[in-house]
Structure 1
Amino acid sequence: MKCVRLPLMSVADLLCVVRPAGLVKADALLDAIAERTNIRLSSLPHRGQLVLDDNLACPRLGSKVVSGELMEYLLDGDYYSYDMEKGYTRHGINGPGDHGIIVKLGQPSIINHIRMLLWDRDLRSYSYYIEVSMEQKDWIRVIDYSQYSCRSWQYLYFENRVVQYIRIVGTHNTVNKVFHLVSFEAICKLKIPKMVNDVICPNYNVATLDKSAVVIEGVSRSRNTLLNGDTKRYDWDSGYTCHQLGSGAILIQLGQPYIISSLRLLLWDCDDRSYSYYIESSINVWEWEMVVDNTRENCKSWQVIRFPPRPVVFIRIVGTHNTANEVFHCVHFECPSMEDVGTPASPKQKRLKENVEQEGQVQPTETATEAEEIPTEIDNSMQ
């Protein structure tokens, strides 16, 4: 009888079914009733199926959406053909008491990872939290990003939990009062990354398109040139992101908050110019914290910056000086840094050193200011 989890039975069953059977001692029965009464339901030793690396939030396993508008879209597996009119599940953001979007798994299951897609056809951001439950009576908050700005794909981890209901509640949308969710997956992973509270401490570059990062301010011929990982193909006309000194900045938004303690960037280095700049970070685009102040330094090529760990969503790079002209140019950005401080010179810098040894060399004309501005308009018509 030691294998029987008596506290999972209702008090009525313990008194009316188990007690008359005479198979359980009175003390064990009283202990089970006390545990059932005094401990949160979510803390009881629930049983759940363990399936590794498979999405449990799918109709073929009996999962369904039980709360929200346009419920038919969330678990259909289609995260490509969505627009302003269809392809997402939503709920109104009204404040405390919102029921949000609730997914019921086919049966109680052990999960520690959620992957979901926020509507991302423009540059809007969302804030939200996620709670889990077994019986929809006692909800445990496993993710709280209500103070962070998040966009597109979300990769969320927490300690193993047996759950049957998952509730996603949006708390903010930078465009309107509706929370839109395109796709949702619940998975159990064998290993989860290092976490601080419910925020990932990555050991890989999260400033990438695959991780939903985006450049939301800056000038370039292609919006996300800064994040495409190409550190070789750049020249006088393309391959960099820039801004006018004294006006604007280069602003990067990560897909979700991460605990970051380093970053690396490549300053344009096709000649012998140097730059000065400073970098700030934020979790909400309103409150900024200084990362590094190199406004009195002459900086060239690769820059590796290390600082005390902190949650980061936005990174703002502001150029303050260029020895060649009035434009600040950045070729590549990553965080955390994937290289040690002793990063070798870039291929362009190596060639430059060889070229400057040749007398009478003529450099091409600077054309950085001819780059096209990134469009930042946001359509406010989505409801």
Structure 2
Amino acid sequence: MASKISDYHLFYKMSNSHPLRPFTAVGEIDHVHILSEHIGALLIGEEYGDVTFVVEKKRFPAHRVILAARCQYFRALLYGGMRESQPEAEIPLQDTTAEAFTMLLKYIYTGRATLTDEKEEVLLDFLSLAHKYGFPELEDSTSEYLCTILNIQNVCMTFDVASLYSLPKLTCMCCMFMDRNAQEVLSSEGFLSLSKTALLNIVLRDSFAAPEKDIFLALLNWCKHNSKENHAEIMQAVRLPLMSLTELLNVVRPSGLLSPDAILDAIKVRSESRDMDLNYRGMLIPEENIATMKYGAQVVKGELKSALLDGDTQNYDLDHGFSRHPIDDDCRSGIEIKLGQPSIINHIRILLWDRDSRSYSYFIEVSMDELDWIRVIDHSQYLCRSWQKLYFPARVCRLVLMANK
């Protein structure tokens, strides 16, 4: 009986090296990875080395020609006629660690560096070496990685280094992180180790939004920890008029770091200035809508309050999907929003009712205490409808009122 075969395949596999296979034309050969491995092996094997670096009593044999080819600094050092250019020279290096220098040599020889699982202190030393020896691409890549691992424990020392080497992206990310975690930063150990310049850059920011009493106490601790610095200059960063009379008398005065005249001046400013003229601090969240429940905002005046904060600008009709308020003679019964915390704003977008031919005249005011209001937009002489994209000088506020006129 013949067996039944449903399918049958016969084939002969030709290897790529078979003489009958046509050659594929290759216009460019890229074996950079092989080159990297071979040059990297010189570092691991320590063969043919003609210069030695000494870091923390640890010796690092290296090759002049490779260092000079990769780095202008080493080219000048090793071939510039100085003592270090002598054969078999030993060169001590200060202000770095053996771990960071090991990473730098690996990068010089292979073009690779492994940043994960390294301590923040080592990464910052590594960043310092990249800056010192002129490796801008390495500096950028290390900065980008540091941006991803910022936390309360490392943000202060990272900001210090980023400020020292003028690294804009890393500096900006550190500032944003500290702004959003201001009170935790003030109580961290890293805060006490900040340089004076970095410290002032942080606390002078309008967006470093912590209670002024907490800022004062943190600066007081910093002064105790850095007794040789000019404490008067540090204390000038405190916004005394933002503190209550009780805080000025019971917290600031006993410290002895501010003169009685400075305290009296603060009391005078507080009592004679209108509230919205005080130099408030506020949270800064760029390019995000902060009038949402996500950020703790709520509608305190107006009808159908939840509709204003649901984020839906597409589905609204006569029955649902919009907030409203009655129009009265005193113009104070508008829609009022209380933000989750004092915030810095300079842009408001409003969608006015546009499902019929009606138009509206309106104004917008902001306040911190619901008593003193500043008008930032006045369209009371215009007829407006649909989307309103409104810009004004940045203001710190807690409350926003829109009313028709």
Band the TM-score falls in, shorter-chain normalisation: 0.3 to 0.5
Q: Taking CA–CA contacts closer than 8 Å with sequence separation of 6 or more, which of the two structures ends up with the larger relative contact order? A: 1
Question: Which of the two has greater strand per residue?
Answer: 1
**TM-score calculated relative to the size of structure 2:** 0.41
Question: Which of the two has greater helix per residue?
Answer: 2
